[in-house]
Structure 1
Amino acid sequence: MLFILILTTLLAILIVKQYQKSRKLPPGPIAFPLIGNIPQLVYQAWRNKGIVPAFEHFRKTYGNVFTIWMGPFPHISIADYETNHEVFVKNGNRYKQRFLAPIFEECNEGHGLVFANGEIWAEMRRFTMLTFRNMGVGRDIMQERVLEEIDARCDELDATAVNGQTVIQHSEFFELMVGSMINSLLVGKRFEAHNQPEFFHIRHLLDKLNEFFTIFDMIVPVWFLKKFFPKRYEATRDGMNAIADYVGKVAEQRVKDVKSGKYILDEENPKDFVDAFLIKMEQENKNGGHPAYTMKSLKFVLSDLWSAGHDTTATTLTSGFNQLVNHPEVVRKIRNELMRITDNGSRRLTLQDRTETHYLNATIAEIQRHASILNVNFWKVSDSPTTINGYQLDSGEILTAQVSAIHVNEDIFKDAGKFDPERFIENEKLIHQIIPFGIGKRSCVGENIARTNLYLMLGNLLLRYDIQPHEKLPSTADQLPFSSAKIPDKSAKIQFIKL
């Protein structure tokens, strides 16, 4: 009897505290004690066939700013561009800290760019952006790297062509092309015949991770995963460690070669990101050292840059070509524009052509809107009191720009389910409301690399080849709509026909 009384009292206290807290927050479904809105989120995801449609249901019901309780913690989602710009750009200094999933904290140990906070993260972000700028990202130097990779992959395509036609598993083609370019930028090595098996092993582990990783895995304690879902824990750990171990070995070998005199670091002209980091680390060590410049830090920064830079761009290209073979009229319009810009295909498409390729730019924006890689965006924590849409929020509130919900917001994108590049031609301002790389202080540091890859790879491939489905049209639907990231159809093949 006493136990029931104590339990009832504790439950009543929780309900009262949760009610008092809810009154200060943006609207949302009524939350249960301890488990929050997880039952409603699961139900709406099941009813609407995915996490993103569930978020859209909540947005339509409660407005562009709504609260979902993940267990005992309220999470505020912002699903319109204007409010996100006000919060994360104009007041961006308040939202530099990311709310980290326990599993990420354990695997990355406070290092890296994606799953880290504090001074080490801030220093690594500054260093990475400066290094990329010095290496020519967004300029001709970077462009040549990408164009060389495109030429090499196209040569491989042409070498296996029969009567000018090559059938490929396009997802693997894009994964290899983007992965090779990123690997070259970071550690100075392309993926060629001798080391491709290593790449596809890493890719397999990442795919396995993406297949099941959900909001559930983001919010539960690590001990809970280890005890009750050990296979989920092991798959997450192995997927995250696969890249870190690979790039870590390359970096460690570079250090050994430098010490033995086999490799010379050129301070004026570092060959890749590892060179730049080792040069900086040596300089810092002469001044007593810096906690951000260690081999462990390098390992996790490389891992984050490799996985984020490769996975998102390759997935976007796969999703994009799935759309394009389903919309041949879009391909024809792009090619007509490209032929006019490049004197009937007599030269390669370059970044200098961007201002003239209005339809290609619109198509890439529409591809990114539909691909919208993260079904659930990373959460941030406010470090001071703030006001959002008239709601006075305390320091420590958890909130995010819910990108997936923005990109299907019918108030912004009419008939959002339709693939229609023309929407960006009719309303040029609309393109600024596509934010696939996030917004504010925690936006993707590799945005310029990704934009360069998407433009040059997509444009130059369509300049060289016509594309047709092989045996069946690929689906344009998210293959795993209940996971934390979108997965495009990778089962279909595409026929590349040399022009």
Structure 2
Amino acid sequence: MVLGWIFSIFLALCLACLLIMIAWKRTSKGGKLPPGPTPIPFLGNLLQVRLDAIFQSFLEFQKKYGSVFTVYFGPRPVVILCGHEAVKEALIDQADDFSGRGEMPTIDKNFQNYGLAMANGERWKVLRRFSLSTLRNFGMGKRSIEERIQEEAGYLLKELHKVNGVPIDPTFYLSRTVSNVICSVVFGNRFDYEDECFQKLMKMINESFVEMSKPWAQFYDMFGGIMQYFPGSHNHLYDLIEELKDFVASRVKLNEASFDPANPRDYIDCFLIKMHQDKSNPNTEFHLKNLVLTTLNLFFAGTETVASTLRYGFLLLMKYPEVEAKVYEEINQVIGAHRIPTVDDRSKMPYTDAVIHEIQRFADIVPLGIPHNVIRDTHFRGYLLPKGTDVYPLIGSVLKDPKYFQYPHAFYPQHFLDEQGHFKKNDAFGAFSAGKRICVGEALARMELFLYFTSILQRFSLHSLVPPADINITHRITGFGNIPPTFKLCFMAR
């Protein structure tokens, strides 16, 4: 009986070793990948990476292996790019080769390669071209996007006046106002701030971003093939995104019920027109699944990233009140106390423009970037990356590249000013990523950040509940996303 027990254990160990060897061989695609920390079969580099500080772990690897190295997410090899020069060479100089979308197991089950953000190949090209064109057309329509932002900023200012200087957590004030801008484009209308459905959506989007940034999500991205069968917060994230999908699908049905192809009201209507035009084409990418998921991509990205940047910006301005004072002085000189700020004002306000760029750089909302994938066997810096290799361009390492920023870990608006005080572009400013996968909503986000910051600081001063020296500007969660710390402030009418 004892021999039988020993024999069973021996067989189990042999089977485990066999499975590990099979898994390891499946990841060996040939080619010559960059060096990196030595992986353990099946576990990869799990034991060498801090899941609660994965970005910092990669920066430690950079010191040893250079700006291009390989890390194993479980059995899956992933090439990491650090610093402006490596990321530029890949995403701009070899843009076509690196234009694929890499795996994100935390959300792949929701999107299944559909929608703009997670698509590849011809589907991605078609959806990106259509989305850029449609957003541009709305920007030049009867009501420009600038007018939509100005109107929404006005609603926010009214809400802040109602608060009357009482301390508030700005999280959902900002997410609701920012989200209403993209809602007016994709859904054709804004929502009342007190609308219960809208408030629930904002909480789900915020919670989804937080869940994606937790250590558990990083672990799931390494072992998605196995972890999908186990309980955990990844299941909650899946449910949140499915609820958001259901909401978008319900909005599509509303549009279909009152659809007039001669008078498109929003992004959904424009997509429906393409669906009707291509209804006899069995290979069209203009179908319901892509409509729902692309609209969700725009809705989600157009809400969370800008709102988080604004929130972090207010925290930094309270930490450095002298910066807020200089921004207000420039607002007074260029715009005055009563005129509504416009995008044209930005070129006359170099200090404010520099501060906003520095807020984006320092906040570093998505430090890991979104994974890319090489679409063919690719020679890069003397290595051969086999077709299908996932690549992480670390956006945070670009925004804090010491070769391009004098004080990479400090908040220093002078990074974007020359000696005469004029705005100075910096090639390493890559807050929206770079190359063919650069954020579709980049122009919209730039407008929003400028118009919201100037509109709010024109009317209100920011007051912290603690002395500036005691304000904590450390990110609350540093994973896929850098989550700003929770705080309260007082908006005091000027």
TM-score by length of 2: 0.88
1:22-101 equivalent positions in 2, closer than 5 A: 24-42=32-50, 50-101=53-104
Q: What CA distance in whole angstroms lies between the structure 2 residues aligned with 1:16 and 1:293?
A: 39
The offset of 1:17, in angstroms, is: 9.8
- Tell whether 2:241 aligns with 1:240: yes
The offset of 1:14, in angstroms, is: 8.0
Could you say which residue in structure 1 is the equivalent of 2:412?
A: 420
The offset of 1:273, in angstroms, is: 0.9
Q: What CA distance in whole angstroms lies between the structure 2 residues aligned with 1:246 and 1:16?
A: 43
Could you say which residue in structure 2 is the equivalent of 1:181?
A: 181
Could you say which residue in structure 1 is the equivalent of 2:230?
A: 228
Could you say which residue in structure 1 is the equivalent of 2:4?
A: none
SS in 2 for 1:377: coil
Tell me which amino acid in the other structure corresponds to 1:33: P
Could you say which residue in structure 1 is the equivalent of 2:439?
A: 444
The offset of 1:284, in angstroms, is: 2.1
Q: Deviations over 1:445-485 (max 9, x none)?
A: 1111111111111122112211111357653111112x321
Is the Cα–Cα contact under 8 Å of residues 176 and 202 in structure 2 kept in the other structure?
no
Query: Against the structure 1 CA distance between its residues 137 and 420, is the aligned structure 2 distance closer, same or farther, given a 3 Å change threshold?
Result: farther
Is the Cα–Cα contact under 8 Å of residues 103 and 390 in structure 2 kept in the other structure?
no
Is the Cα–Cα contact under 8 Å of residues 44 and 72 in structure 2 kept in the other structure?
yes
Q: Which of 138-147 and 289-298 deviates more?
A: 138-147
TM-score by length of 1: 0.87
Q: What CA distance in whole angstroms lies between the structure 2 residues aligned with 1:140 and 1:252?
A: 24
The offset of 1:206, in angstroms, is: 2.9
1:291-440 equivalent positions in 2, closer than 5 A: 291-342=284-335, 344-426=336-418, 431-440=426-435
Tell me which amino acid in the other structure corresponds to 1:292: E
SS in 2 for 1:116: coil
Tell me which amino acid in the other structure corresponds to 2:207: K
SS in 2 for 1:36: coil
Query: Against the structure 1 CA distance between its residues 462 and 290, is the aligned structure 2 distance closer, same or farther, given a 3 Å change threshold?
Result: farther
Tell me which amino acid in the other structure corresponds to 2:270: A
SS in 2 for 1:168: coil
Is the Cα–Cα contact under 8 Å of residues 27 and 77 in structure 2 kept in the other structure?
no
Q: What CA distance in whole angstroms lies between the structure 1 residues aligned with 2:371 and 2:302?
A: 20
Q: What CA distance in whole angstroms lies between the structure 1 residues aligned with 2:70 and 2:425?
A: 26
SS in 1 for 2:167: strand
Is the Cα–Cα contact under 8 Å of residues 360 and 431 in structure 2 kept in the other structure?
yes
1:255-274 equivalent positions in 2, closer than 5 A: 255-258=256-259, 264-267=260-263, 270-274=264-268
Q: What CA distance in whole angstroms lies between the structure 2 residues aligned with 1:470 and 1:409?
A: 33
Could you say which residue in structure 1 is the equivalent of 2:204?
A: 205
Q: 2:273 aligns with which of 274, 279, 282?
A: 279
Q: What CA distance in whole angstroms lies between the structure 2 residues aligned with 1:180 and 1:14?
A: 47
Tell me which amino acid in the other structure corresponds to 2:139: G
SS in 1 for 2:411: coil
Tell me which amino acid in the other structure corresponds to 1:60: K
Tell me which amino acid in the other structure corresponds to 2:174: F
The offset of 1:276, in angstroms, is: 1.4
Query: Against the structure 1 CA distance between its residues 9 and 328, is the aligned structure 2 distance closer, same or farther, given a 3 Å change threshold?
Result: same
- Tell whether 2:147 aligns with 1:153: no
Is the Cα–Cα contact under 8 Å of residues 172 and 202 in structure 2 kept in the other structure?
no
Q: 1:479 aligns with which of 476, 485, 488?
A: 476
Query: Against the structure 1 CA distance between its residues 63 and 449, is the aligned structure 2 distance closer, same or farther, given a 3 Å change threshold?
Result: same
Could you say which residue in structure 1 is the equivalent of 2:3?
A: none
Extract unaligned runs of 5+ from structure 1. Answer: 259-263
Q: What CA distance in whole angstroms lies between the structure 2 residues aligned with 1:111 and 1:20?
A: 26
The offset of 1:194, in angstroms, is: 5.2
Once superposed, what is the RMSD of the aligned Cα atoms?
Answer: 2.8
The offset of 1:61, in angstroms, is: 2.3
Query: Against the structure 1 CA distance between its residues 182 and 283, is the aligned structure 2 distance closer, same or farther, given a 3 Å change threshold?
Result: same
Q: Give the number of aligned pairs.
A: 476
Is the Cα–Cα contact under 8 Å of residues 334 and 359 in structure 1 kept in the other structure?
yes
Extract unaligned runs of 5+ from structure 2. Answer: 1-6
Q: What CA distance in whole angstroms lies between the structure 2 residues aligned with 1:266 and 1:313?
A: 33
Tell me which amino acid in the other structure corresponds to 2:414: E
Tell me which amino acid in the other structure corresponds to 1:358: P
Is the Cα–Cα contact under 8 Å of residues 138 and 449 in structure 1 kept in the other structure?
no
Could you say which residue in structure 1 is the equivalent of 2:130?
A: 127
Is the Cα–Cα contact under 8 Å of residues 365 and 431 in structure 1 kept in the other structure?
no
Could you say which residue in structure 1 is the equivalent of 2:145?
A: 142
Query: Against the structure 1 CA distance between its residues 37 and 188, is the aligned structure 2 distance closer, same or farther, given a 3 Å change threshold?
Result: same
Q: 1:114 aligns with which of 94, 106, 117?
A: 117
Tell me which amino acid in the other structure corresponds to 2:310: L
SS in 2 for 1:240: helix
Query: Against the structure 1 CA distance between its residues 54 and 266, is the aligned structure 2 distance closer, same or farther, given a 3 Å change threshold?
Result: same
Q: What CA distance in whole angstroms lies between the structure 2 residues aligned with 1:170 and 1:16?
A: 51
Tell me which amino acid in the other structure corresponds to 2:198: F
Query: Against the structure 1 CA distance between its residues 80 and 117, is the aligned structure 2 distance closer, same or farther, given a 3 Å change threshold?
Result: same
Tell me which amino acid in the other structure corresponds to 1:184: S
Q: What CA distance in whole angstroms lies between the structure 2 residues aligned with 1:436 and 1:104?
A: 22
Query: Against the structure 1 CA distance between its residues 313 and 226, is the aligned structure 2 distance closer, same or farther, given a 3 Å change threshold?
Result: same
Query: Against the structure 1 CA distance between its residues 167 and 103, is the aligned structure 2 distance closer, same or farther, given a 3 Å change threshold?
Result: closer
Tell me which amino acid in the other structure corresponds to 1:235: H
Q: Which of 410-419 and 3-12 deviates more?
A: 3-12
Query: Against the structure 1 CA distance between its residues 312 and 13, is the aligned structure 2 distance closer, same or farther, given a 3 Å change threshold?
Result: closer
Query: Against the structure 1 CA distance between its residues 216 and 16, is the aligned structure 2 distance closer, same or farther, given a 3 Å change threshold?
Result: closer
Query: Against the structure 1 CA distance between its residues 376 and 83, is the aligned structure 2 distance closer, same or farther, given a 3 Å change threshold?
Result: closer
Could you say which residue in structure 2 is the equivalent of 1:168?
A: 168
Tell me which amino acid in the other structure corresponds to 1:249: S
1:248-259 equivalent positions in 2, closer than 5 A: 248-258=249-259
Q: Which of 350-359 and 113-122 deviates more?
A: 113-122
Tell me which amino acid in the other structure corresponds to 1:239: L
Q: What CA distance in whole angstroms lies between the structure 1 residues aligned with 2:29 and 2:256?
A: 56
Q: Percent identity?
A: 27
Tell me which amino acid in the other structure corresponds to 1:463: Q
The offset of 1:291, in angstroms, is: 3.1
Query: Against the structure 1 CA distance between its residues 311 and 138, is the aligned structure 2 distance closer, same or farther, given a 3 Å change threshold?
Result: farther
